[in-house]
Amino acid sequence: MDNSLLGIFQYVDDLLAAAEKCKKSGYGITIISPVPLVHEIEHTFGESKNPVKYFTGLGAITGYLFGTLFAITTSILYVLPRSGRPIIAIPPILLISYETTILLGVLFTLMGFIVLALAPSFKAKEYDVGLAIDSFGLLVDGVRENKFGDIEKVMREYGANEVKRIEKK
């Protein structure tokens, strides 16, 4: 059985140092924090991938095509001329597709975020109330029973206030 170990830190540099150490030992780590540590983590571990952009791009392109085709087809489906203008008038099409590009871009980005970031953790348990307020957690996954002691020792060494064992059901 693989279990996880959660160390709770007060200072971010402590946490990052411990995280670096654990990662070098080959464990999967997750950092839980009440504030974004994007820059600090990138500084330590290098830049991570950004898969949301594919959703955004897809949404924007879909939106543009949708807007253009929608405006063209609906004007042709029921032809009613107005003001001596052509049935397929280009400026409105550009405007409509501009708006739909943004609309679908935003919605797809949101969807991408939900799929990528939130959906995997729908069922995960919260580990500590403090992690949402003022302490920082280092979650080490895939720790064998007999290695608990070692990891805990590393965390304590780097200044963890508390180390918890999380047992998976």
Partner 1 sequence: MDRTITYKEASEDISGIITKTGWKYYAVLTLMAVSAVSFLFLPWAYQIYSGQGVTGLNAPVFWGLYLVNFIYWVGIAHAGTLISAMLYITQTPWRRAIARGAETMTFFALFLVSLFIFVHMGRPWNFYWTMPYPNQRQIWTNFTSPITFDVFAIGTYTTSSIVFLFFGMIPDLASLSHTATGWRKRLYTALSFGWRGTDRQWHLQAKACMFFGAFIMPLVVSVHSVVSWDFALSVVPGYAKTVFAPYFVTGALLSGFAGVLLMLSIMREAYPVMKKYVTAYHYDKVTIFVVVLSLIWSYLTLMEVVTGLYANTSQEIEHLKYKLAISPFSYLFALMIFSNSVLPLLYIFKKLRNSFFGRFIIPVFVLIGMWLERFLIVPNSLSRKFLPWMWHDYSPTWVEYSIPIGALFFFISMFMVFIKVFPIIAIFEVKEDIGIPMRKSH
Partner 2 sequence: MAGFLERITERWKVYREPGFFKKLDHKWTMVIDLDKCNGCGACVLACYAENNLPVVGKDECAMSRAFSWLRIERYIDGEYPDVKVKFIPVMCQHCSKAPCETGCPVYATYHNQDGLNVQVYNRCVGTFTCATYCPYDVRRFNWRSYKFEQPLDHQLNPDVTVREMGVMEKCTFCIQRIRAAKDKAKDEGRTVQDGEVLPACVQSCPTGAMIFGDLLDPNSKAAKLAKSPRRYRLLEELNADPSVIYLKRVMKEGPSKHG
Partner 3 sequence: MKYFIAYVSVAVITFALGYKAYGLYFSDLSPVQPIPFSHKIHAGTNKIPCMYCHIYAEKSRHAGVPNVKRCMGCHSIIKTDSPLIQKLASYWEKKEPIPWVKVYNLPDHVYFPHKRHVKAGVPCQRCHGDVANMDRITREVVPFGLPYGMVSPLKMGWCIECHNNEAQKYIGTPVKNGTDCWTCHK
Query: In the complex, which residues of this chain contact partner 3 (CB under 8 A)?
Result: 78-80
Q: Please choose, out of 97-105, 140-148, 149-157, 161-169, the segment that lies near partner 1 by the rule CB under 8 A.
A: 97-105
Among 43, 85, 144, 153, binds partner 2 (CB under 8 A): 85
Q: What 3-state class would DSSP assign to 165? A: strand
| 148 neighbors 165 (Cβ within 8 angstroms) | yes
| Closest CB to partner 3 among residues 35, 80 | 80
Give the binding-site size for partner 2 (rule: CB under 8 A): 13
Q: What 3-state class would DSSP assign to 30? A: strand
Nearest distance from C-beta of residue 55 to partner 3, angstroms: 23
Look at strands 162-166 and 3-9 and give their pairing. antiparallel
Q: Pattern 108-147, binding to partner 1, x per CB under 8 A?
A: -xx-xxx-xxxx-xxxx-xx-x-xxxx----x--------
Query: Quick one: which of 1, 2, 23 has its CA closest to 138?
Result: 23
30 binds partner 1 (CB under 8 A): yes
Residues 6+ apart with CB under 8 A from 20: 44, 45
Rounded Cα gap, residues 62 and 169, in angstroms: 42
User: Which parts of 14-73 interact with partner 2 (CB under 8 A)?
Assistant: none
81 binds partner 2 (CB under 8 A): yes
Residue ranges binding partner 2 (CB under 8 A): 75-76, 78-88
